[in-house]
């Protein structure tokens, strides 16, 4: 198998794993965020950022072994940042 084909196959496999994780985890994660963040827009932004970070972790070849625990930790940190005023701040 040539290198380009191998890379495409690995990317497709990663995409499938990411899609499955998002599908499996988004319900409880959305509820977790909405119970802690009053503003619906902020809650959706946090959810999107957490899943973006999950995709980036896979792309950097640093996939989390315990996806649920990893998502919980990252989500909790984003909620804390939101309350501290870091979330959405201009860089």
- Specify the CATH number for the domain of residue 11: 1.10.1740
Question: Is residue 64 included in any domain, yes or no?
Answer: yes
Question: Is residue 62 included in any domain, yes or no?
Answer: yes
Structural domain range at position 25:
3-84
Question: Is residue 49 included in any domain, yes or no?
Answer: yes
pLDDT under 70 in the chain at which residues?
1, 62-64, 86-91
Question: Is residue 37 included in any domain, yes or no?
Answer: yes
Count up the domains in the chain and report the number: 1
Please state whether the predicted TM-score (pTM) of the whole model is above 0.85: no
> For 31-57, how does the pLDDT look when each residue is reduced to its tens digit (9 = 90+)?
999 999 999 999 999 999 999 999 888
Question: Is residue 91 included in any domain, yes or no?
Answer: no
Distances (CA, A) of 47 to 22, 25, 37, 54: 10, 11, 11, 11
Question: Residue 91's pLDDT is what?
Answer: 43
Question: Is residue 80 included in any domain, yes or no?
Answer: yes
Question: Residue 14's pLDDT is what?
Answer: 80
Question: Is residue 24 included in any domain, yes or no?
Answer: yes
Question: Is residue 90 included in any domain, yes or no?
Answer: no
Best CA proximity match to 70, nearest among 17, 9, 34: 17
Question: Residue 63's pLDDT is what?
Answer: 65
Question: Residue 26's pLDDT is what?
Answer: 95
**3-class secondary structure, 4:** helix
């Amino acid at each position: 198998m040539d290198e380009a084909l191998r890379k495409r196959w690995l990317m497709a496999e990663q995409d499938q794993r990411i899609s499955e994780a998002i599908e499996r985890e988004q319900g409880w994660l959305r509820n977790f965020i909405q119970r802690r963040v009053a503003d619906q827009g902020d809650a959706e932004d946090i959810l999107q950022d957490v899943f973006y970070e999950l995709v980036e972790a896979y792309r950097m070849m640093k996939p989390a072994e315990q996806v649920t625990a990893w998502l919980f930790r990252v989500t909790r940190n984003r909620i804390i940042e939101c309350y501290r005023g870091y979330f959405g701040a201009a860089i």
